[in-house]
Amino acid sequence: MRYTLRVWRQTGPDARGRLVEYAVDGVTPDMSFLELLDVLNERLLLDGDEPVAFDHDCREGICGMCGLVIDGVAHGPEKATTTCQLHMRHFDPAVPIVVEPWRAAPFPVVRDLVVDRSALDRVIEAGGYISAPAGAAPDAHAVPVPKPAADTAFDAAACIGCGACVAACPNGSAMLFTAAKVTHLGLLPQGQPERHSRAADMLRTQDELGFGGCTQTGACTAVCPKGIPLDTIARLNHDVLAAALRSPR
Amino acid sequence: MAVTGGVLLLYVVAHMAGNLKVFAGADSIDGYGRFLREFLAPVLGHSGFLWVVRAVLLLAVVLHMTAAIQLARRARKARPTGYAHRARVPGGYAARTMRWGGVIIALFVVYHVLDLTAGVLNPHGVEGAIHDNVVADFRHWYVVLAYTVAVVALGFHLRHGVWSALRSLGMGSARRAAAVQAAALGVAVLITAGFLSVPYAVLFGFVR
Ligand code: HEM
Ligand code: SF4
Ligand code: FES
């Protein structure tokens, strides 16, 4: 099958980019979207052109490295699916596909479809951890964790930090990402000592990095490959408010 | 945003409930207007209470708009380069229309105060004759239309606003999500229906 792609090409962070049209032949329905780009790149290399730069690593939907805005939707049209797990059978060969990088001021374009998402690491550094004395691993049953808390924390921990929530948010907010971490750690006993300061610090850092403010549009959850629910944001707000009320700093 | 919105919501609920006095006859609503002017008059002077309420409302509106403008500007700064291919924004209609809906409601309030409070845009426009002013207004289909647009916009604004405000205040995580959802929808429907009952009752001749 032949597909037509319109791909964002940009030679460097400060260069002007533009959409370039390519026809890609020999695509099969069970190829992933990244394999489609592989096919394109092989041809570009043979023709002596620059291949399209794009991020990826595991190609099995767990590392969070891949991420493209496909026809205006982060990670493309399939629900709860990363770009690497998105297959060509979901696309009509007759319709050109537009491929763009994540668009957000804190995610500058490095080249073509690759953006620098280190801003999310800065948010984690602000509180996405627990402070515990390192030593021998404690016994697994030393700290009891209620089953519902464990389940909800585990679901929130499924966030792979891909940044699709930011890419999709009309406000360019990283709220769902931050809320996933705050929910994950704030529900577990080990996360309690820093629970409220964590939420406040991570949110403040996120704002300082230039992410937008959350207005709860729900666009993030709609594209999240891990189905992180919007409820996590209510929990984040709860902890931020508690931080403001309890410890006037 | 949530706090100032809450103040405005309280006002809108009280105002909607007060308007229903139109159905109890001219004396009832006009008397209610006099009552609001005389309320706490020994302490605050004639209309003093009303001016306190107006001051609180104005402050709430200004802060509410300031917060909205800040959010919009941050959003624009957070995405200097837009997408070439724009998909329909997922998320509800109400969520997508918060900013323009807010502008429509603000413009309406200006017109509305000139109409029914100041009387200058009212076909009857006699101070204190609230019932007659209201009836003179809503005999005209175009006035009813303007009020309908504004009230429906307010309904959508509240539908997302109440929901979002409760969640900004930390409610609605998993367990209470359904309750918060229902509360927002209930408030929006109640306010919309309550406000619209008056113009349509006049238009169709139930209140004359
Ligand atoms: C069909 C719907 C409505 C009717 C029939 C109505 C009726 C009235 C009347 C008769 C007054 C003047 C009261 C007086 O002179 O004592 C008034 C004032 C006012 N109304 Fe409405 N109203 C409606 C909807 C709304 C809505 C949707 C809002 C705001 C979102 C609103 C906000 C106000 C404000 C701010 C004032 C001025 C209060 C003051 O400064 O004294 N109204 N309304
Ligand atoms: S919340 Fe979802 S969309 Fe956002 S970074 Fe985590 S996995 Fe990606
Ligand atoms: S490449 Fe690892 S999640 Fe897609």
Which tens digits make up the pLDDT trace of A11-27? 999 999 999 999 999 99
CA of residue A115 to ligand 3 center, whole Å: 14
When CB atoms are compared, the residue of A103, A213, A237 closest to B169 is A237
- Top mean-pLDDT range of A128-137, A154-163, B90-99: A154-163
Q: Which residue of B has its CA nearest to A69?
A: B83
The angle, 0 to 180 degrees and rounded to 10, between the axes of the packed helices A175-186 and A147-157 is: 150
Residue A171: which of B71, B160, B167 has the nearest Cβ? B71
What is the C-alpha to C-alpha distance for residues B65 and B103, in angstroms, rounded to an integer? Answer: 9
- Domain A3-115, CATH class in plain words: alpha beta
Taking the centre of ligand 3 as the mean of its atom positions, its distance from the CA of residue A164, in whole angstroms, is 12
Q: Is A100 on the interface with B (CB under 8 A)?
A: yes
Torsion of CA A72, A74, A79, A85, to 10 degrees: 120
Provide CATH code, domain A119-246: 1.10.1060.10
Ligand 1 pocket test: pick from B19, B22, B154 the residue with the most ligand atoms within 8 Å of its Cβ: B19
Q: Hey, of A71, A215, A233, which one would you mutate to test binding to chain B, going by the most B CBs within 10 A of its CB?
A: A215
Q: Is A66 in the pocket of ligand 2 (CB under 6 A)?
A: no
CA angle centred on A147, ends A145 and A149, rounded to 5°: 70
- pLDDT at residue A249 tops 60: no
Residue-wise pLDDT tens digits, A121-156: 999 999 999 988 788 888 888 889 999 999 999 999
N- to C-terminal Cα separation, chain A = 62
Residue A171 with chain B: CB contacts under 8 Å: 71, 74-75, 78
Mean pLDDT value across residues B100-113: 95
Instruction: Please identify among residues 97-116 of chain B the ones whose CB lies closer than 8 Å to any CB of chain A.
Output: 98
Whether domain B2-203 has CATH 1.20.1300:
yes
pTM, rounded to two decimals: 0.89
Please tell me which residue of chain B has the smallest CA distance to A149.
B174
| A53-67 pLDDT tens trace | 999 999 999 999 999
- Record: contact B170-A239, CB cut-off 8 A: yes
Contacts of B84 in chain A (CB under 8 A): 6, 8, 19, 98, 100
Contact indicator for A217, B88 with CB cutoff of 8 Å: no
Listed residue (A191, A48, A50) closest to A132, CA to CA: A191
CA-based nearest distance A136→chain B, Å: 35
Domain ranges of chain A: 3-115, 119-246
Q: What is the ipTM of this complex?
A: 0.85
Query: Are A210 and B171 a contacting pair at CB < 8 A?
Result: no
The span from the CA of A7 to the CA of A111, in Å, is 12
Q: How confident is the model at residue A5 (pLDDT cuts 50, 70, 90)?
A: very high
Closest CA to A100 of B86, B75, B170, B37: B86
Please give the distance, rounded to the nearest whole angstrom, from the Cα atom of residue A159 to the centre of ligand 2.
Answer: 5
Q: Which residue has the tokens 């006099």?
A: B34
Scanning A171-210 for CB atoms below 8 A from B yields 171-173, 210
**Contact A224/B at CB under 8 A:** no
The residue contributing the CA closest to ligand 2 atom 5 is A161
- The pLDDT score that the predictor gives to residue A56 is 97
Average pLDDT of the residues of chain B? 91
**For residue A202, which of A162, A221, A174 has the smallest C-alpha distance?**
A174
CA of A31 to the centre of ligand 2 (A): 24
Expressed in angstroms and rounded, the spacing between residue A183 Cα and the centre of ligand 2 is 13
| Residue B177's pLDDT band (cuts 50, 70, 90) | confident
**Chain B residue numbers touching A216 (CB-CB < 8 A):** 95, 160, 163-164, 167-168
